[in-house]
Structure formats: C-alpha cells, structure tokens
C-alpha cells in the first residue's frame, strides 16, 4: 500500500509495449489474456458469485487468490479450486491494507487480475439503517475496492497487462427504494471504474464492470430480507462468473447479467419521466 498514487499516470504506449515484452514475453502483450502464470485475486470468493468466479478463473488456468472473511469457508473454496486463501474484513481499512501486501507476497510479487466482488447489502428504510452499518457498507462495498485498485494496479501497469473487474449492481444503475446506501455505493463504483478506465487507457490494463440483477446467492438472506418476487428470476452465480471472464479474457468494459437489464437503464437515461412513471407502477 506504499505505492505512489502518481504511478497511475498514463505511461507512453511504446514504453508499455517494451515492458510487456520483457516481463511476459509476447504472450503478455496487450490484448492477450493467455493465463500462463497469471495471478488473479477474487474478493468475496468464500461464497456466491465470488466462489463461482474463483472456480471459473482456476479452470481457465489462472492462479487464484481466494479472498473471504470467514476463514473456514474461504479455505474450503480455495481447496476446491486449487487456490490460495487470503482473509480480511474489508470494512476495516487496516485489514484492506494488509490484504494488499499479502496478495502481492502470495502472488510472488505479481497480481494480474483483480476482481472486486466482495460486498453486502442492507434492506429497509434509509433512516432505520444503523449508522455503523452505513459506515461498514460504504467501507466494504466502495472504499475497499478503491483502495485495492490503488494498491494493486500500478504493478499491472508496470508489466503492461492487467484487468480490474468490479461487480456492481443494477441497484447502482437505477437506484432502488429500501437500498439507498447500497445503491449509492454501487453507483460510486461505476463512476470510479469509468474514471480509472479513462486514466489507464493505452496502458494494457482494462477495466470492466459486471452489472448483475438478481443472483441466486446468500446475499438476500444476509441483508435481512429474502428475495420473494417471482420476476425477475434469480440467475445462477455461474452466469455472473462468465461475465467476469468476458471482462478478463476479452477486456469487456460492461456486461449486464441478464443482458436485458440494459433496457431499463437505457429508458431511464433517455426518458427519465417515463421511467419514474413505470417504476411507480411496477416497482
């Protein structure tokens, strides 16, 4: 975490090409996602979407650092995918810092793919949300991904290849009553991703955002309100893992899961009054 933030400044293309060539050989050049020797960190991989993503990346040949908070669950997923467990409570800045150092050490000095997936929600009226939970949610869902990106991207940029993938949410795109702080955190991630994508253009480090709707994981029970609607139907976490893989292998900037979710986002953008009317009628 002692990286100088100025290292984010865009490097000259020629310099990057040279670095990629010397660090990774030709396969490491920009555009190639060949995983030989590449190391990926998946946060929140002890459960749900993160566990599915860790398995998918491991199958594709990445060496996966499996992050979680629950030590037992994290170790189980790591054993299953042949990865390395790393534990930290991302709502605590000091643990985020420690995790970044641990990740670089566990990856033998390199980290090529950062999947910022860990997060939790909270459902209910905004003014009923405990202040401590507001702080923890913003820390884990927004501040931690920013801190990890800041700590781990300079190394990718120096090697001329890297991927940062954020698991956002449709809540962050549209806003959802009863999930105000969660939606704000995810919207913040979106803008952060968009901004660093612009800063990193031409460096070989691509930034992707996956935007899931409803996914069949423990997320809803954990946030204190199970998902009871019949539509939209929850998608399996593997679908989200495939979307993360598209960001990693193809450098995709944005993937909705399911794909039709881009429609309400587009309607809200071009016809906000119509969107508000539809939302008030159909939720």
Closest approach of ligand NAP to the CB of residue 148, in Å: 11
The pair of three-digit structure tokens given for residue 7, joined into one six-digit string: 């290292």
Query: Across the strands, what pairs with 68?
Result: 87
Helix, strand, coil in percent for the chain, rounding step 5: 55, 15, 30
Closest approach of ligand NAP to the CB of residue 280, in Å: 23
- Taking only Cα atoms into account, the Rg of the chain, rounded to an integer number of angstroms, comes to 19
Residues numbered 127 to 146 that lie near ligand NAP (CB under 6 A) are 140
Report yes or no: 116 and 91 within 8 Å, Cβ to Cβ: no
Those residues whose C-beta lies under 8 Å from the C-beta of residue 16, and which sit 6 or more positions away, are 30, 157, 160, 202, 203, 204
Binding segment for ligand NAP (CB under 6 A), chosen from 58-66, 85-93, 125-133, 244-252, is 85-93
Closest approach of ligand NAP to the CB of residue 158, in Å: 27
Give which of 74, 77, 42, 76 is closest to 57, Cα–Cα: 42
212, burial (CB in 10 Å: exposed 0-12, middle 13-18, buried 19+)? buried
Told to check if 118 binds ligand NAP by CB under 6 A, we report: yes
Q: According to CB under 6 A, which one of 98, 150, 222, 246 is a site residue for ligand NAP?
A: 222
- 182 labelled catalytic: yes
Binding letters toward ligand NAP, positions 224-263, x by CB under 6 A? ----------------------------------------
The pair of three-digit structure tokens given for residue 118, joined into one six-digit string: 């860990």
Residues numbered 86 to 105 that lie near ligand NAP (CB under 6 A) are 89-91
Closest approach of ligand NAP to the CB of residue 137, in Å: 9
The angle formed by the CA atoms of residues 54, 56 and 58, to the nearest 5 degrees, is 65
Binding letters toward ligand NAP, positions 10-49, x by CB under 6 A? ----------------------------------x-xxxx
Residues numbered 137 to 196 that lie near ligand NAP (CB under 6 A) are 140, 167, 169
Those residues whose C-beta lies under 8 Å from the C-beta of residue 184, and which sit 6 or more positions away, are 138, 172
Residue 195 has φ and ψ, to the nearest 5°, of -70, -45
Told to check if 73 binds ligand NAP by CB under 6 A, we report: yes
Report yes or no: 10 and 197 within 8 Å, Cβ to Cβ: no
Closest approach of ligand NAP to the CB of residue 187, in Å: 12
Told to check if 208 binds ligand NAP by CB under 6 A, we report: no
Q: According to CB under 6 A, which one of 62, 161, 192, 219 is a site residue for ligand NAP?
A: 219
Q: According to CB under 6 A, which one of 28, 35, 50, 83 is a site residue for ligand NAP?
A: 50
Report yes or no: 92 and 139 within 8 Å, Cβ to Cβ: yes
Helix 13-24 and helix 144-159, axial crossing angle in degrees, nearest 10: 80
Told to check if 81 binds ligand NAP by CB under 6 A, we report: no
Using CB under 6 A, list all residues that contact ligand NAP.
Answer: 44, 46-50, 68-70, 73-74, 89-91, 117-121, 140, 167, 169, 212, 214-215, 217-219, 222
What residues are annotated to the active site?
Answer: 182
């Amino acid at each position: 975490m002692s990286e100088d933030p100025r290292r984010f400044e865009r490097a000259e293309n020629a310099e990057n090409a040279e670095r990629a060539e010397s660090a990774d050989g030709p396969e490491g050049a920009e555009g190639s996602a060949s995983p030989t020797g590449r190391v990926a960190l998946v946060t929140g991989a002890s459960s749900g979407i993160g566990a599915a993503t860790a398995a998918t990346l491991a199958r594709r040949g990445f060496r996966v650092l499996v992050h979680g908070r629950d030590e037992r669950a994290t170790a189980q997923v790591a054993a299953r995918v042949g990865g390395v467990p790393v534990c930290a409570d991302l709502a605590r800045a000091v643990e985020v810092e420690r995790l970044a150092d641990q990740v670089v050490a566990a990856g033998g000095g390199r980290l090529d793919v950062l999947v910022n997936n860990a997060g939790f929600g909270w459902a209910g009226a905004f003014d009923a949300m405990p202040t401590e939970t507001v702080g923890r949610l913003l820390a884990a869902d927004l501040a931690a991904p920013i801190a990890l990106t800041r700590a781990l991207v300079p190394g990718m940029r120096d090697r001329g290849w890297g991927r940062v993938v954020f698991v956002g949410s449709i809540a962050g795109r549209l806003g959802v009553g009863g999930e105000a702080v969660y939606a704000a955190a995810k919207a913040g991630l979106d803008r952060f991703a968009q901004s660093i994508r612009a800063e990193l253009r031409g460096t070989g480090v691509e930034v992707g955002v996956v935007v899931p709707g409803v996914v069949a994981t423990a997320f809803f029970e954990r946030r204190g309100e199970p998902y009871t609607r019949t539509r939209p139907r929850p998608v399996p976490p593997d679908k989200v893992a495939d979307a993360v893989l598209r960001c990693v292998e193809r450098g995709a900037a944005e993937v909705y899961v399911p794909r039709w979710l881009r429609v309400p986002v587009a309607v809200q953008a071009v016809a906000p009054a119509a969107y508000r009317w539809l939302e008030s009628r159909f939720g």
